[in-house]
Amino acid sequence: MIAFVFPGQGSQYVGMGKDIYDSFEEVREIHNKVNEKLGFNLTEIIFNDEEKLNLTQYTQPAILLTSYLIYKIFNDKKSITPSFLAGHSLGEFTALTVAGSLSIEDAVYLTYIRGSLMQRAVPEGKGLMAAIIGLDANKIEEVLKTIDGVVEIANYNSYEQTVISGETEAVKKAMEVLKSQGAKKAVPLAVSVPAHSSLLKEKAKKFAKYIEDTPFNDAKIPVISNITATPITKVQEIKEELKAHFYSPVRWVQTVEFLANNGVKTVYEIGPKKVLTGLIKRINGNLELKNIETLQDIENA
């Protein structure tokens, strides 16, 4: 069995997907439709504007569009049907688009709104995320309960790496305590938004209105939920997932465990960079991993 997985924020770089854009008229047409829906030129940002590309509201739609179009050309040429789809954080929107639950125009628009709301959720400097390396997630959970202020697990990325998120002072205090409790490293992340923390709950209510106004379909291929690490396919459960997704932790370890326990032997990471491949290797060394990022990768697959 095969699964396709899609990357989240942090995988972006200027020029991603350019070879596919240059080679296929249908890719350029989808770019044009998306730009029209957004009311600005996302294509220009992806290929030429690093500063804007690294702002959350542009990063999210840029990665989704790029990953989806790489998938589309790969699928047109190789026609491999996966048993499951999954995405890391933002990547779940890509997975739902590939599953036929959302149109590409609506998915890109939703992630632009999502990124914009996240960017404005917490004043600059008031939120922080940090990667905790080399400490068991259960131990991290215990320690966080003892810290004053908001600090929570945002991403269960691998057995070795857990990301925490919340108020700047609370996250800094947690980093100190976690190092004293045996963490090998506690590394602040270069993001201004405390993603997947309860600090985003208010903005999530606003995002819920956009979800309700967007047409969804049942997923044709089961998508593994970031929140529960179980498959979702029905419109209502997908909508509820995306409303809570904003402030809920990403259970990537549990997602990879689910795939491995349910017969998946090969995982394709489709999209820019190879971040998820690195995480999956650390979670389960028995899975065969393949990367589809460039036209060359598609030809070689």
Q: Are 259 and 276 in contact (CB under 8 A)?
A: no
SS3 string of the chain?
A: CEEEEECCCCCCCCCCCHHHHHHCHHHHHHHHHHHHHHCCCHHHHHHHCHHHHCCHHHHHHHHHHHHHHHHHHHHHHHCCCCCEEEECCCHHHHHHHHCCCCCHHHHHHHHHHHHHHHHHHCCCCCEEEEEEECCCHHHHHHHHCCCCCCEEEEEECCCCEEEEEEEHHHHHHHHHHHHHCCCCEEEECCCCCCCCCHHHHHHHHHHHHHHHCCCCCCCCCCEECCCCCCEECCHHHHHHHHHHHCCCCEEHHHHHHHHHHCCCCEEEEECCCCHHHHHHHHHCCCCEEEEECCHHHHHHC
Catalytic status, residue 23: no
> Active site residue: 67, 89, 116, 192, which one?
89
Tokens of 194: 């405390």
Catalytic status, residue 103: no
Q: Is the dihedral of CA 31, 37, 41, 47 positive or negative?
A: negative
* Distance, CA of 77 to CA of 68 (rounded, Å): 14
> Active site residue: 31, 88, 196, 245, which one?
196
* Distance, CA of 120 to CA of 125 (rounded, Å): 12
Q: Which residue numbers are catalytic? A: 89, 196
